[in-house]
Every structure is written in structure tokens, then in C-alpha cells.
Chain A
Amino acid sequence: MRYLPHSEAERAEMLGVIGAANIDALFSAVPAKALKTFDLGLPAHSPEFLVEAHLKALSAKNHAGADGPFFVGAGAYRHHVPATVDHLIQRSEWLTAYTPYQPEISQGTLQMLFEFQTQVAKLTGMDVANASLYDGSTGTAEAVLMARRLTKRNKIVLSGGLHPHYRDVVKAYLKDDADLECLSASPDGQGDILDHIDEHTAAIVIQTPDFYGHLRNMKAAADAAHAKGALLIVVITEVVSLGLLEAPGALGADIVVAEGQSIGNALNFGGPYLGLMATRKEFIRQMPGRLCGETVDAEGQRGFVLTLSTREQHIRREKATSNICTNSGLCALAFSIHMGLLGEAGFTRLARLNHAHACKLADALAAVPGVEVLNDTFFNEMTIRTSQPAAELIERLAARGILGGVPVSRLEPSDPSVANLIVLAATELTTDADISALCAALSEELA
């Protein structure tokens, strides 16, 4: 077996040193009725080429993004990842290192996390960012709990423009919680969340661009929340939008949570992704997740360490801010390298290119009979109302080799008002030919 170094002779020799008659003697604490009393019926070990053939066959059954026109977004976006990123993250020293608990021999990971935190703070316009969370959805649930700790209030209001999966995750985390108010879906981009803020409100949660692609007014939300002593949590699922849109920190956000997948990370059918979280300096001690900080070593040289770890489970145990142990280190590395390659110049160009392609898409869709574009504002994503039920329409497009977006009914099955809505995204990878193919197919299907 190629992953196991011992020969049978070595095993025997080692058992001799231990003084055990056989390997089973080392399992003597296991109750006899539970030790090797079964036949697993699993396949035996297999050479590399056979394993590879099996997985390639499974992979080939899927329609990959590159196989045809692609307009699927709704919380995960298909962007180009430079070859340099994927090469670097596969270097042994990044890929096969553990959490940097021994800072003297983990300065690579630690300095990278410090750079990552700086990038996220600058993107969001906030004072501090952590070293990443699992993803945007769980990050949103963590932000809600953090707001409760900070305000010592309980009521949470979720905007109707919040990604339905994110809403569902918050609901699961706050099970049986009467203080959670979820506003109904608002595909038109109009929300009346400001009327739901009162003196019991810990936080309001608003996504921008929202699930339907509309840009929401953060400043007005922040002012309304702060007037009642509540916090504003801003959620961003498409982080590329920050290259073109104002930083939430500059508009009064108290906690910003974002899905960072768009930068450096492939679609991967939903994971692994990375959650970004940033907040105000005075809220650091209630922020979950790891933090990396600068210090010096015994010779006065600059170095980095994990810090403020008394917030975390391995020290506070049942009093920790969260039970989180792992972050999303390698995805954060991919994000940081990609962002480092882009820089301000490249990131801004990328954002403009996304918006330009989305404008083309919106204009082309508006010209298709039976299609209505619902958005006045958007970054790279929009919602259309079609003259036929969306779910079947998307399937028919898929049969033509076109992945034409996400039918809203897939995420909101119990809301009949969204049955004819589709959310579509364009990115820098979207071509004019893709848009033409989509519009031609839609015209035929809706005729």
C-alpha cells in the first residue's frame, strides 16, 4: 500500500520492542464484541490509475462551467483564477501545514493571514477583519450572534433581499427563537426593513447587492439602525462588487460579512469557500474566529502570532464567543494571492468589466419578448420575470447546453409569487456570444 511505509518485518520488530504478541494486543481495551467482528464489504486498495479512472468517469457526468454559456450566480460566481494562484497554494509549505500554533516555524502562514486581514479591512472599509470563517452563510449567523452579545438585545431582522440559504442558516442557528424576524422575499429591491427597527433590535441584516441583484441603501439603513441603538450587519455575496461600490464601512456598517469565493477560489459545487468578517475596533473581543497580530521576537525582529485567543473555544470552552476551531486558511491564501496579483488597479478593472458585461446582458434580456428585467440597479447580477415558470425553463435551457441562471423557486419553493423569476449573473468570463446564445434560446422557448 503506497501510503504505508512499514514492511511486515518492521511491524514485527516494532511489536517486539513494544512487547505485544500481535497488533490485536494493542486494541485490548476495545470490547471483544466490537473488534474486527465484521466484514466491511468495501472494495480493496487500488492502484492510482484505477482510482483516477473511476473519478474521471464521475466528473465526466457533470456539465462543467466551461462546457457552455454560463449565467449561474446567486451566491457563488464563476470567475477566472490565475494559474499562479493554484500553483502557489499547492506548494507543500502552504498545503500541508497545520494551524500556526508554533509561530516560530509558521511565519509564512501568519504573515499571509496578517496581509489577508489587511486586505479585507481595506475592501470593506472596516477597522479590523478576522482570519476567515467557513463561508458567508455561517458567517452571517455568527454575526447575528455577535450583535446580540454586543447590544445585549435579542431581536434580529433579516431583509427580504438576503440570500434565502443565508436566512435559512440563521434560522437553524437560532432555532425556536421568537426574536428572529425574517421579512418576505423582495424581488423588486424595495424593502421596508427600516420600519421594523425598535429599541429591542440588536441588528438588522441587509445584503447588497441583494439576492436579486439590487443595490441597497446602506447609509439610510445604518442611520435608522443607529438611531434606535441597533447595529447594521451588511452581507455581501459577490465580493468583486467592492471594486466598484462604496465600502460598507464608509456608510456606517457595524459588522460586514462576505463570501470571499469569487476571488481565488473555484466554484467547487459549493465548497470549500471562505467567509470574510470585519468590524469596528471596539467590537474585536466579541468577534469570532482567529486573529493574527504583529509582534516582535526575542531578538526584536518583526513577527506574527495568533492573538486574542482567549475569545476562542480552546481557552474559554463553554464561555467562548463561538465553537469555531478551524478557519478557511487555504482559501484565504488563494484569496490573498489573487487579490495581491490584482491590486487596486486590477481589482477595479475586474469590477468594471463585470458590470459592463452585466449591462450588456440586461440590455439583451430586456429585448427578448416574454422577459422583463426587474432591476434598475445592479452590479453583475439581476432578476428577470419570464412568461413561463422558471424552473422548467431553466431545465430546457440546460438541455440546450446553456446554464441560464437560478430559478428563484429552487430557493423559495413555498412562495408562488417568485415562480417565474430567474436570477442571472455575468462575470468577466461572459462573452457576447454567450449572451446571444442565451437570448436566442430564451426567444425560442418563450415564443
Chain B
Amino acid sequence: MSMNNQGRPTGVGTSGFSSTSGSSLLPNEPLLFEIGDTEHSGVDLPDVTITMDRLGGFERKTPLDLAGLTEPEAMRHYVRLSRLNHSIDSGMYPLGSCTMKHNPRLNEKMARLPGFSDIHPLQPVSTVQGALELMNELSHWLMTLTNTAAVALTPKAGAHGELLGMMAIKAAQTAAGQGHRTIVLVPESAHGTNPATAAFLGYSVKPIPARTDGTVDVQAVKDALSPEVAAIMLTNPNTCGLFEPQVIEIAEAVHAAGAFFYCDGANFNAIMGVVRPGDLGIDAMHINLHKTFSTPHGGGGPGAGPVVLSAALAPFAPVPFVRKGDNGLELVEHETGESLGRITAFQGQMGMYVRALTYMLSHGGDGLAQAAQDAVLNANYIKARLSHVFSVPFNDYPTMHEALFDDTFLAGTGVTTLDFAKALIDEGFHPMTMYFPLVVHGAMLIEPTESESKQTLDRFCDVMEELALDAKSGNSQRFTSAPMNAPRRRLDETRAARSPILKWERPVEAMKPAE
């Protein structure tokens, strides 16, 4: 019998106890609307009377019916709920392509300085010179690390950055009389946002098949290029965790055909400070500050996706941007020349700029390079330790910051990749990314990041190895019934999708008048 991190046995039948309210460490927390009511409030505010004569007859008649909690009740509700979440701070989070690294708390402290958090995006520019200076400094770091000519800071997330980068490409081609280019090449292994972005802008997507070694074939790109191709969207390092060895040849071929090279920078953590994407011939690349530069993921955002641009695309960058003027720094807020315009209100994710710059200054140029190398070291270490038990789809090159396995090793065991991942939950780890990239059957993509110690990596590998051997030995029930030691057993997603319940409704009997 295996033991989990707390030394308790795991496996079927050990979770016999159940309670209706749960313990304080594993609570069954009611909904806000089930514990609060419309009278209680945790905020003291003066109750002023107003006249309605300036509301034009539009005052509210529909009841709000919003539940309120006093401060101690609210504190308990959200603390109890929080305990149901896995987090980086509580355990390894080896989600491939997500870069779940340590989030330094200095970042949080700096983002809350009143000179950053309590300034308005439209207050006079003369009163926010320090903020503009910070944006300039962040831009300098991003451009230096990528060796590019310009950066557009404003995209609110990676996918928003992709959208902006492709908009810049479209604007540049339209300006050059190349508006007839309507095809975007996207390798099959790409993240789903790439084809979604291209389609969003009206491009048709032409998939580039993956080579058997997991990389993109320069010849396949050349064969697909034509005068109708606007761009290629290539992730490098790619979603299989491999650096594209022919990336420079691909860039040259794309440029020779009059197209642009959009690089998905989701995996920049593997190469920051070690390889400059500008040296590879990219024209645009978004950088996920929430992956590479340690701003917190916050349960799914907010992100930030600044885009670095080559000299060819720089004139098409969106507004606003910062530039030096006669009286200090200026904020250029309106379309000038060929700018593609504005993709969000205001100046973008300032709170994330502060956190990312804090992280960069802490690490320094030397530390960022070391972090990238440690991230790659960790992934290769996992691959080396596990490849005798797990099946490795691509083995021609060292991996970068991710270790990719397929489900061949599970053949005949009755255990799926999903089952295997769920069993990892019972051992105290967050599952790896599953079934992505799509080009690998039953993919398991593991990204340890540089934040994990050798001790943690060894424990993870020990658990992975033990699980794999157990699966092969025929103990499928441990996997198919997992997780047992989580706040919930497997959830019925079919039921959720067939008849969606997307908000709380007051129970019908509660609305009936008392008899």
C-alpha cells in the first residue's frame, strides 16, 4: 500500500468517513447566498436619504436580492473556500505550458504602493511620471531580453497579445498593399489560441503537420508558403517542449515569401537571458508576464501579454505608449501615423508591470538566465529519471523546460492518462497538463519550472514511478476511482453541460408564503 505525503495510506476504501459539513480543514462550505441575506452587511456606511429628481425616473424597482455577510462571516467563508484549492504555495504544480513558478511576495508589496495602485489612468500625465518611468524600464528589459525594436505593453493576456501581434501584421500588410494575404500557417501542435486568433481576424488557417521528431519541418513550411500567406504562428520552444532547431531557416523562408513570423512566447521561460528571439528572426512575440515573470495566476487571471515587435512592425504598434518629450515622459494616446489604434481602455495591466519589473530587478539579467537554465535542467532531470518507466514520444533532442510523455506505457492497463493524472492528486501533486499537445496520444506534459528543489523533484519522480509500476501491475482501481483524498471525487461534467446550472436560484419552497 502506498502512503501519501501525510503518511496516510492511499487507495480504495480508505475514505469511508463522510460528514455533511466537513472538517474545518476540508469544509463543505455552503454558498454565499445560503449563509448570507439581504439585511446583513460587513461594510459600515452612513445611510443617507436622497431625492430621486436627478435620476430621470430610472431608479431601481427590481430587487437586487444580493446576500451580504458581516466581516467575520465573510472572512470564514472565503478562508474555508480557499482551503479547497491546490496552489503553488502548497505544492508542486507541474502544468505544462503554464509555467507555475514561485510568486515572490515582494511583487505584491510593490504593486500595492500607493504611487502605483492609487493612481488613475486619466489623471494628468505630469502627476504620473514615476509610473511612465516604470513602463519605460519594463519595456527596456523586455526589448533587451528579446533583442527587438519595440514593445506594446497593453495586451491584457497572452491571447490578447496574440491578437495584437496578428493585428499589427495585418496592418503592416494592408499598408504595403499586401492585403490579399489571407492564409496563416499554424503547426498542428500549436496552442488553441493560435488558430482562434487567426480566425478571429478573418484569416484561414493552414495546418503544418508535425515531423515525427516533434519539430516543424522547414520543407513543410516552404511547401505551404505562397503569395497568399500572411504569416506563420510558431511556438518556440514548441508545445512538445522542444526548441525548433530549424527556426532560423523557417524565419528566412517566411520572410523570403513576404510573410511575417509570429512567435508564441508562452514558453519563453526556457530561454530568457539565454536566447534572444530577435536573433531568430521573429517579427512579433507575446510574453506572458504571468508565466515567465512570476505575476500570480490568481485562479485564472488577470494575465498580461506585452508583445515585442520587430522594426518592420514597430510603426503599427497600438496606442497608448510612452515616449520622451520636452517636459519629461509623455503618453501617446491617439493614433499617430500607422498605429493600429487602441486595443484596451487605458494603459494595460499596470499592476502586472510593477510585479514583473520587481521580479526582473530581483533576479537581474544573470538570475533570469540562471532561472531559464534551471527550468531546463529540472525538466531534463524528470525526463531522465522517468524515461525507463514512461514512454517518451520524442527523444532526438534534449527537452527544454517541459518533459513530454505519451500513454504507450499505459497500454493494456485499463488506466487512461486522465485516471493517471487524478491519482497524482491523491499523492499531493497537481496533475500535469493532459491531452496536450494534441499531436501526441494521451499526452502528459510536465513543466516543473526552476522553482522546484531537487528534493521535491525526487519525491515527484518517486511518486510518478511508483504510480506507473502500480498501473502496470494491474491495480487499475486505484486510478479509475481517483481522487479519493481530495475535497471532491470526480465531478460529473456531462451533467453540468447537458443542463447547465450557472447561477444560484432561491429554492422554490422558500419563496412560497407561510401557510
A328 to chain B, nearest CB (A): 5
Quick check: which of B122-130, B218-226, B471-479 contacts chain A, the rest being far away? Answer: B122-130
The proximity string for B residues 231-258 relative to A, scoring 1 for CB distances below 8 Å and 0 otherwise, is 0000000000011110110000000000
Q: Give the distance in Å from the alpha carbon of A45 to the alpha carbon of B137 in the complex.
A: 16
**Do B345 and A313 touch across chains, with their CB atoms under 8 A apart?**
no
Quick check: which of A153-161, A164-172, A199-207 contacts chain B, the rest being far away? Answer: A164-172
Q: Are A42 and B276 also in contact (CB < 8 A) when A4-B374, A105-B430, A359-B54 are?
A: no
* In the assembled complex, B82 has its CB within 8 A of some CB on chain A: yes
B397 cross-chain contacts in A, Cβ below 8 A: 28-29
The proximity string for A residues 35-78 relative to B, scoring 1 for CB distances below 8 Å and 0 otherwise, is 11110111111101001101111111111111000101011101
**Do A349 and B74 touch across chains, with their CB atoms under 8 A apart?**
no
A339 to chain B, nearest CB (A): 7
- Greatest chain B CB density within 10 A among A13, A60, A103, A294 is at A294
Q: Give the distance in Å from the alpha carbon of A6 to the alpha carbon of B367 in the complex.
A: 13
* In the assembled complex, B419 has its CB within 8 A of some CB on chain A: no
Residue of A nearest to B36 (CB): A343
Apart from the given pairs A93-B83, A268-B117, 15 other A-B contacts in the complex at a CB distance below 8 Å: A31-B280, A55-B358, A103-B491, A117-B503, A122-B64, A128-B502, A245-B55, A267-B118, A269-B116, A269-B120, A295-B492, A297-B489, A341-B69, A343-B67, A353-B48
A190 to chain B, nearest CB (A): 13
Interface residues on B, range: 35 or more
Name the one of A31, A58, A75, A100 contacting B133, with C-beta atoms under 8 angstroms. A58
A-B contact pairs, 22 of them (CB 8 A): A1-B371, A4-B370, A27-B376, A34-B280, A62-B116, A76-B122, A86-B112, A96-B89, A103-B491, A109-B85, A111-B31, A135-B345, A137-B344, A168-B341, A243-B60, A267-B120, A297-B491, A307-B496, A313-B192, A318-B199, A353-B45, A377-B58
Quick check: which of B1-9, B160-168, B307-315, B405-413 contacts chain A, the rest being far away? Answer: B160-168
Q: Give the distance in Å from the alpha carbon of A239 to the alpha carbon of B51 in the complex.
A: 20
The proximity string for A residues 108-145 relative to B, scoring 1 for CB distances below 8 Å and 0 otherwise, is 11011011011101110100110110111110000000
A346 cross-chain contacts in B, Cβ below 8 A: 41-43, 45, 68
**Do B489 and A98 touch across chains, with their CB atoms under 8 A apart?**
no
B117 cross-chain contacts in A, Cβ below 8 A: 266-268
* In the assembled complex, A337 has its CB within 8 A of some CB on chain B: yes
A411 to chain B, nearest CB (A): 8
**Do A331 and B301 touch across chains, with their CB atoms under 8 A apart?**
yes
B267 to chain A, nearest CB (A): 13
Interface residues of A in 139-192 (CB under 8 A from B): 163, 165-166, 168-169, 171-173, 175-176
Q: Give the distance in Å from the alpha carbon of A63 to the alpha carbon of B500 in the complex.
A: 48
Name the one of A60, A247, A319, A375 contacting B115, with C-beta atoms under 8 angstroms. A60
Q: Are A269 and B113 also in contact (CB < 8 A) when A129-B503, A305-B491 are?
A: no
- Greatest chain B CB density within 10 A among A23, A271, A395, A413 is at A271
* In the assembled complex, A384 has its CB within 8 A of some CB on chain B: no
Name the one of A45, A84, A117 contacting B42, with C-beta atoms under 8 angstroms. A84
A167 to chain B, nearest CB (A): 9
Q: Give the distance in Å from the alpha carbon of A197 to the alpha carbon of B29 in the complex.
A: 49
The proximity string for B residues 344-374 relative to A, scoring 1 for CB distances below 8 Å and 0 otherwise, is 1111111110100110111111111111011
A3 to chain B, nearest CB (A): 6
Q: Give the distance in Å from the alpha carbon of A91 to the alpha carbon of B160 in the complex.
A: 27
Name the one of A29, A45, A268 contacting B245, with C-beta atoms under 8 angstroms. A29
B493 cross-chain contacts in A, Cβ below 8 A: 295, 305, 307
Q: Are A169 and B345 also in contact (CB < 8 A) when A30-B243, A176-B174, A395-B124 are?
A: yes
Q: Give the distance in Å from the alpha carbon of A382 to the alpha carbon of B87 in the complex.
A: 44
* In the assembled complex, B326 has its CB within 8 A of some CB on chain A: no
**Do B67 and A314 touch across chains, with their CB atoms under 8 A apart?**
no
Name the one of B93, B200, B300, B376 contacting A23, with C-beta atoms under 8 angstroms. B376
Q: Are A269 and B346 also in contact (CB < 8 A) when A92-B90, A242-B60 are?
A: yes
* In the assembled complex, A416 has its CB within 8 A of some CB on chain B: no
Q: Are A326 and B55 also in contact (CB < 8 A) when A84-B71, A105-B425 are?
A: no
A89 cross-chain contacts in B, Cβ below 8 A: 298
Interface residues of A in 270-322 (CB under 8 A from B): 270-274, 284, 290-299, 301, 303-305, 307-308, 310, 312-320, 322
**Do A109 and B488 touch across chains, with their CB atoms under 8 A apart?**
no
**Do B362 and A48 touch across chains, with their CB atoms under 8 A apart?**
yes
B187 cross-chain contacts in A, Cβ below 8 A: none
A interface residues, how many (CB within 8 angstroms): 206
Residue of A nearest to B171 (CB): A175
* In the assembled complex, A215 has its CB within 8 A of some CB on chain B: yes
* In the assembled complex, A431 has its CB within 8 A of some CB on chain B: no
**Do A345 and B345 touch across chains, with their CB atoms under 8 A apart?**
no
**Do A66 and B114 touch across chains, with their CB atoms under 8 A apart?**
yes
Q: Give the distance in Å from the alpha carbon of A406 to the alpha carbon of B436 in the complex.
A: 47
* In the assembled complex, A440 has its CB within 8 A of some CB on chain B: no
**Do B85 and A108 touch across chains, with their CB atoms under 8 A apart?**
yes
Top 6 A-B pairs ranked by shortest CB distance? A343-B68, A330-B298, A59-B115, A270-B346, A61-B130, A42-B365
* In the assembled complex, A227 has its CB within 8 A of some CB on chain B: no
**Do A62 and B131 touch across chains, with their CB atoms under 8 A apart?**
yes
**Do A270 and B299 touch across chains, with their CB atoms under 8 A apart?**
no
Q: Give the distance in Å from the alpha carbon of A132 to the alpha carbon of B302 in the complex.
A: 10
Name the one of B40, B93, B453, B500 contacting A293, with C-beta atoms under 8 angstroms. B500
A92 cross-chain contacts in B, Cβ below 8 A: 87-90
Q: Give the distance in Å from the alpha carbon of A131 to the alpha carbon of B299 in the complex.
A: 11
Interface residues of B in 368-398 (CB under 8 A from A): 368-371, 373-374, 376-378, 380-381, 383-385, 397-398
Q: Give the distance in Å from the alpha carbon of A34 to the alpha carbon of B367 in the complex.
A: 19
* In the assembled complex, A445 has its CB within 8 A of some CB on chain B: no
A25 cross-chain contacts in B, Cβ below 8 A: 398
**Do A121 and B381 touch across chains, with their CB atoms under 8 A apart?**
no
Q: Give the distance in Å from the alpha carbon of A176 to the alpha carbon of B175 in the complex.
A: 12
Q: Give the distance in Å from the alpha carbon of A30 to the alpha carbon of B298 in the complex.
A: 33
Q: Are A378 and B54 also in contact (CB < 8 A) when A38-B276, A295-B495 are?
A: yes
Residue of B nearest to A57 (CB): B130
Name the one of B112, B121, B162, B376 contacting A76, with C-beta atoms under 8 angstroms. B121
Q: Give the distance in Å from the alpha carbon of A71 to the alpha carbon of B400 in the complex.
A: 51
Q: Are A61 and B129 also in contact (CB < 8 A) when A20-B398, A293-B501 are?
A: yes
Name the one of A96, A290, A315, A318 contacting B296, with C-beta atoms under 8 angstroms. A96
Q: Give the distance in Å from the alpha carbon of A245 to the alpha carbon of B59 in the complex.
A: 4
Name the one of B40, B56, B377 contacting A215, with C-beta atoms under 8 angstroms. B56
Q: Are A72 and B42 also in contact (CB < 8 A) when A36-B274, A109-B300, A135-B345 are?
A: no
